[in-house]
Every structure is written in structure tokens, then in C-alpha cells.
Amino acid sequence: MLNTRSGDVAQQVSTGSLPGWERVDALVRDAHEHLLADRDGAVADYIPTLAAADPELFGIAVVDVTGGAHDVGDAVTAFTIQSISKAFVYALVAQELGRDLVGERIGVNNTGLAFNSVVALELNDGHPMNPMVNAGAIATTALVPGATAAEKWSRLTAAMSAFAGRHLAVDQEVYASESATNDRNRAIARLLRSYDRLDGDPEEIVDLYTRQCSLLVSAHDLAVMGATLADGGVNPVSGEQVVSDAVSRDTVAVLASSGLYEHSGEWLLEVGVPGKSGVSGGVVAVAPGKGAIGAFSPRLDKAGNSVRGQRATARLSRALGLNIFASRSSNAELPTTDRTRGVT
């Protein structure tokens, strides 16, 4: 990675705060009501159990760094975390092994190609490039500490549960369904192994990865997990220091660069908040120092991202002032409500 070490200069932060409680609550409810009739997209059908999801489900949660929660709709309905797990397993591994080792083994740069691309691996000499694509996520799971698969799973689930502030369990039906249809991930793991970029048995590692994607969460859980990253690694509900502030910072940076895969640039341009999606319909977005948004709606766009989840996140990012790139001239005299201009 680029070496930008600058001696003993302390890391400073620039964050801000959310609007008042009642204002946030009203805006979350407004976003849900505004998008409730939106039926664009289709439920994922390449995993049989996901195809059976109720397309009408729609929940939004916002959790701030003090633990304040705003849940609307189906915010506590359970679904499998899928690819959103990648961010939190990366944080676990970076915490345990350090950013330099993980940066060298996994990388942090966008591939510019699809999340399950084999070509991306071949073009980069077997280097997975970042932990958000499947190759990088599988390689990251392989780095979870533990002498056996059981030990690795125990460490992984403990960390994921600590992020959520409660014990997370596997949806066994989804796990079985995905295990029967994940030949491409097995092929990716074997290709990584052929380039000496994967330690351990590829089949065992893919099984661990499939189980991690099958953990059950809700939109509320995602918001708590995201808010933990937003607050320097401290879970705002349990008060536990799950990972360090440095690991939280690095994880959010990786989400910004690659969380939405080859569409990450478009996401940052339109939403302006680091985020991650999953094919079960979940979306999490992290606003450093402020909190996080969790959303759930099973209808997906062609890239596999929740349509209503994305639109709700974009609307709330503007309305709550979450865009990390937004600024205003110190000479401007615009009312605070101006930040909601253009929200659809």
C-alpha cells in the first residue's frame, strides 16, 4: 500500500452530529412512507431460498453513536446478512493481524469488475485486490485466527455478534441452499490457492464464508453494526470496544472505495456515505461520528442491490446531512432545510 507515515502526528477527526431526535424520527418515517409504494426491481432468484422472500417487506433503521434508534416498518424482520458480512470480517482480521499484513494479502483497491469476477483475479496475478469482492472476502475469511475451522467460526461469530450487540445465528435453510449453488466461489477459492494466496483447504474456507453470509440480522442490527464503525469501534448499545478506532477508520475507507463494487463511485457521488449491500436486500451506510443507516427491502436492481434500500439511504443521507463530501461556503446564508433539495 501507499506509505504515508507522518511521524507521531495524532489522528484528528472531523464529524458533526445528527439533527435532534424528533427531526431524525420524522425524516426516517418520511423516507419509509415516500418509498413504500416503490416496487422497482426483483427478488434474487439464483439462490432458491432467497427467491421465496416477501417482496413487500421494507424496513429502515437509523442508530446514532449514543445508541438512539429510529426503527420504521420491517426494521426488525430477520434476513441473512450476505455480502454485508465482508466489512465486519475484514475489521476482525485487521484488528487481529494488523493493517499492513491484511493490506498486502488482500488489498484495498477497486477491481472495476463484478464482485464474483474470475477475470479480475487473473488480471492481477491472483491478488484479490479488496475484501469486498468475493475473492477478497474468501481470502479474508481464511485469515480469521484459529487452528481449526471450528475455532475460526467461533471467533468469527463472536466478532459479528459483538458488532450487532446480540448473538447472531445462522439460517440453516439459506446456508444449505447457498452451499448447493456456490460452485463459482469454490472455483475462486481454488484459483486463489493456485496463486498461493489462500492458506488452508479451499472447500473448508468457502464453507466458512457461506456460513458467515447466512447469519441472520435485521435492518436494526445493521444500523447498530454500522454505528459501531461510526463511533471508533465502540458498540453504541453494549458499550463494548469491538475493534480499535484505527480499524474502524480503515474499514469505512474500504467501504467507500469498494463497498458497492464497480458502482462504488456512482454510490459516493449520489449518496456520499460509505456503504455495503447484500443480495437478500440489506443495505448499511456509515456516517463517521454520527451513526448509521440500516435498510431492508428484497427487490434488487440488476447489480444485486436493494432498490428501496438504496433510495431510502440516499434520501436520508441528504436529509440528515450525512454526505461526507458535502460542504457549504462560510459566506452562504442558506436555511438548514436547504440540505433536502433534490431528494426523490
C-alpha distance from residue 28 to each of 23, 49, 57, 236, 319 (Å): 9, 30, 16, 19, 9
What sign does the CA torsion over 194, 258, 214, 145 have?
positive
Separation of alpha carbons 159 and 95, rounded Å = 11
Beta-bridge partners for 80 = 216
pTM reported for the whole predicted model: 0.91
Is 90 annotated in a binding site? The answer is no
178 is annotated as contributing to ligand binding: yes
Q: What is the predicted pLDDT for the residue at 141?
A: 98
Residue of 205, 29, 240 whose CA lies nearest to 128: 205
> Per the structure block, which three cell numbers stand in for 56?
413487500
- Is 83 within any annotated ligand binding site? yes
Is 102:94 a contact under the CB 8 Å cutoff?
yes
Q: Give the model confidence (pLDDT) of 212-228 as tens digits.
A: 999 999 999 999 999 99
Query: Residue 279 phi/psi, 5° resolution?
Result: -75, -5
Cell 417482496 maps to which residue?
55
Q: Is 185 annotated as a binding residue?
A: yes
CATH class (in words) of the domain with range 21-326+334-340: alpha beta
Q: State residue 45's pLDDT score.
A: 85
Instruction: Tell how far CA 28 is from the center of its chain.
Output: 20
CA angle, 87 then 90 then 93, to 5°: 155
Active centre residues (catalytic):
83, 86, 209, 261, 279
Q: Rounded to whole angstroms, how far apart are CA atoms 101 and 335?
A: 47
| Per-residue cell: 208 | 466458512
- Is 22 annotated to bind ligand? no
* List of residues 6+ apart from 191 with CB closer than 8 A: 118, 121, 122, 126, 135
Q: Cell numbers 484495498 correspond to what residue?
A: 108
Query: Residue 123, class by beta-carbon neighbours within 10 Å (0-12 exposed, 13-18 middle, 19+ buried)?
Result: middle
pLDDT in tens, the chain (344 residues): 655 555 566 666 666 788 888 999 999 999 999 999 999 999 988 888 888 999 999 999 999 999 999 999 999 999 999 999 999 999 999 999 999 999 999 999 989 888 888 888 888 888 899 999 999 999 999 999 999 999 999 999 999 999 999 999 999 999 999 999 999 999 999 999 999 999 899 999 999 999 999 999 999 999 999 999 999 999 999 999 999 999 999 999 999 999 998 889 999 999 999 999 999 999 999 999 999 999 999 999 988 899 999 999 999 999 999 999 988 777 766 555 444 444 44
The Cα 274–Cα 265 span in angstroms is 10
Q: How far apart are CA 101 and CA 143, in angstroms?
A: 10
Q: Is residue 46 a known part of a binding site?
A: no
**What confidence score (pLDDT) does residue 340 get?**
40
pLDDT of residue 343: 45
